[in-house]
Structure formats: structure tokens, C-alpha cells
Amino acid sequence: MSPLLTSGGANRFARRVCNRACILERRTYRCAAVAPSNIITLSTERKRVVITGCTRGLGRALVEGFANRGDLVAACGRSQKSLRALARELGPGHHLFQADVTDDAAVASFRDRVIEEIGVPNLVLNNAAIINRSAPIWEVPPEEFDELMRINVGGTASVLRHFLPPMIEAGESAVIVNFSSGWGRSTAPEVAPYCASKWAIEGLTQAVAQEVPPFIGVVALNPGIIHTEMLESCFGRGAANYPDPEDWARAAVPFLANLRPSDNGKALTSP
């Protein structure tokens, strides 16, 4: 992974892990609060938020939205230039890393740096994704199909693989949001690879929701329809009829911040 791009102000998170063991379905977890999921509440302190795919679109608007709320943000994307521009814009205490979510080792390093800089996250937004060039499936080259699956499904799985163990070990209430789509619950022509990947996200989310302890919630999110580069790719000029990411984030950020472990397994839609 490339060197840290940071807007400064390293923070340490004092982990509050007690030694009590919580036995759940033959798995053993160390829990900060051993209690039924419906009475565990997220801390009202600053959140420690991880966002993938932060260089533009919804990811970028989420970084800005959470940073403006006073939360600690650590985010990744691929474009070094965009990361530098975003780092300059953010205040101190937020951390941007160049990491490709398809590179499992890079995601592991990203996880290590995140924990070093802001602590174990209590909100992870699995946002990074691409869409295929609009075309019927027989015109989508296998390389394009495979790359899309590697990013949209494999990248999400990689983040789950590397972030869940320390989150379980920390024993603190936390939520992971896997970005789905309206096309993760319905379909349309010419975006079959994208639809397939987002239906996979819904299934992945439901299955992982059955694996996590009750102090962690894993949900799928349809963010709605927002004017981003991705939308332009499939809606053309019609994309301009939809809200900008910044407008979307005004309602989406408090909605995401208020998710609870008790939401585990839900297929949600952003306001």
C-alpha cells in the first residue's frame, strides 16, 4: 500500500475490552458489554468511520459529511491525485490511504493503518464499486465482467475479512454497511454484471449477518439514485435530474450514523 496521506492529528482509541467471554452459537467472543442485541447502543462519542472508494461520488461526500459532523474518518481510494486534493480539503484528524480493494494485502495494510490512526472502527462503509459499460451480456468482455466482480463483490468481502476480526475482538457496538443498489433488488437490461454483483452483495450481507456476534450489525444499503459518474455511465444526460452526492449526504450521513447492531441483516434504503 502507498504511504499514508493524512490531514494530520493522529488519534488513539482506548479499547475497552473486558475479559468476559460471550458464548454465541459455539463461537467465543470477548465483549465490552454482554447484553442482548436490542439493548446495546452505539456510543454518542465521535464515530470512527471507515469508507472505501472515497475519491469521488458518494464516498467523497460521505467523507466530507462525517468529517463535518466531527467524526474520525479513515478512507481509501485508488486515485492518488484525488486523495491528495481531498486530504488538503479535510481538517485534521482524518486519514486517506491509497488502496485498491481488490488487493487483499493492501486492504490488510489499510486495516492496520486505520487502527493505528483512529482505532478499531465502529462504522465501516463498504462503498467502492464500478458499473459495466452499458451493453447486453454477450457484448461484455470477460475481463470487464471479472474486474467488476473483483471490485464489487471481492473488494467488499476483503474488507469484511480484514476488518471484522479486530471489530469482534474489540467487543464494541459497530455497524458495517455494504453498498447495494436498487439493482441489487431489481434488474435492468445492459447492466447485468452490475446487477449480479449487487444481488451478490445482498446475499453476502445476509449470510455474514448470521456469522457476527450481536454487538455487530451488517446491513445492505440501497443509497437511492444520485448524480455521480457511475450514474452518468448508465443514465447519460438524464443523470443530471438526480440529486448531487452532497445533497444526498445531508440525509444519508445522520441515517448511517444512527444505524444500530440491532439492524443486523436488514436490506435498507437511504433517505
Give the residue numbers annotated as catalytic, written as ranges.
194
Give the nearest distance from C-beta 49 to ligand NAP in angstroms: 15
The interaxial angle of helices 156-170 and 104-118, nearest 10 deg, is 40
CB 266 within 8 A of CB 219: yes
Closer by beta carbon to ligand NAP, 53 or else 213: 53
3-state secondary structure 20-33: CEEEECCEEEECCC
What's the CA angle centered on 123, arms 7 and 218, to 5 degrees?
150
Taking CB under 6 A as the criterion, the residue among 72, 140, 230, 253 binding ligand NAP is: 230
56 binds ligand NAP (CB under 6 A): yes
Residues 6+ apart with CB under 8 A from 247: none
Residue 57 or residue 213: which is nearer to ligand NAP going by CB? Answer: 57
**In the complex with ligand NAP, which residue's Cβ is closer, 57 or 93?**
57
| Beta partners for residue 51, in sequence order | 75, 125
130 binds ligand NAP (CB under 6 A): yes
Question: What's the CA gap between 57 and 245, in Å, rounded?
Answer: 6
In this chain, which residue has its C-beta nearest to ligand NAP? Answer: 57
Helix (H) or strand (E) holding 189: none
53 forms part of the interface with ligand NAP (CB under 6 A): yes
Among 7, 37, 68, 102, binds ligand NAP (CB under 6 A): 102
154 is a contact residue toward ligand NAP (CB under 6 A)? no
**Contacting positions for ligand NAP (CB under 6 A):** 52-59, 76-79, 82, 100-102, 127-130, 151, 155, 179, 181, 223, 225-226, 228-231
